[in-house]
Structure 1
Amino acid sequence: MVRESSDNQTILHETSHEGGPLAETVIDAIAEVTDSSSTEIEPLYESIDPDALEDLFGRQSEQRVPRRVEFVHKGFAVVVFRTGRVVIYEAG
């Protein structure tokens, strides 16, 4: 599914984090875009500390959780939202 977001970036894939490690959700989303196995994707720690990402979004109080975190991994822009939504964009 490719579509435009509100800021004119092309959304390549979006999913919702349903539990388990957040890093796995991100890697699985990138694997979906690249039509490859998640084991073929570079580990997330090459771009961002997966434990810190998990820590940020695993907090109980939404007051202390950022609205979103953005980073680039394997040539894709990744946005993780407080709601658990994970969106993959073309990096640009």
Structure 2
Amino acid sequence: MDSTDTVRYDPESETYTARHAQGGGRTAVHSVVEAVAAATDSEPTAMEPLYETLDPHALDWLCGRGGERGRTSPGTVVSFRFEGCAVSVHADGRAVVSKRGDRP
């Protein structure tokens, strides 16, 4: 699946948003990688591994896999920088990426 099929760009906020599917196999990590790849116009395989920035298992545990919510508060947000972008992963299933460098 091409990331352009799963990532939406909002020109007003200048952010890229990807969602992990409710109850599907897509994780928060998938959403982050696809949204950052779209924001930086890069192939996911050309980016540094996400595990060099943070623990991907912890990210998936905190933000769930869509249907596995309930581990954390619905308002939980994990924010970090990756590939020169500001990334915020929300427990409601959104990964929001901004190239501007501020928090999306």
**TM superposition score category, shorter chain reference:** 0.7 to 0.9
Task: State TM-score, norm by structure 1.
Answer: 0.77
How many equivalent pairs are there? 85
Deviation, 1:34, is: 1.4
Match among 22, 38, 42 for residue 36 of structure 1:
42
Q: Unaligned 5+ residue runs, structure 2?
A: 1-8
Bigger strand fraction: 1
Identity of aligned residues (%): 34
Indicate the residue corresponding to 2:95 in structure 1: 86
In 2, distance between residues paired with 1:52 and 1:45?
10
- Which residue is 1:13 aligned to? 16
Which of residues 3, 13, 22 is equivalent to 2:12?
3
| Aligned residue type for 1:14 | T
**In 2: Cα distance, 1:72 partner to 1:39 partner:** 18
Structure 1 runs of 4+ off > 3 angstroms? Answer: none
Q: In structure 2, do the counterparts of structure 1 residues 60 and 30 end up closer, same or farther at CA, with 3 Å as the change threshold?
A: closer
Per the TM alignment, residue 60 of structure 1 is displaced from its structure 2 partner at its CA by: 4.1
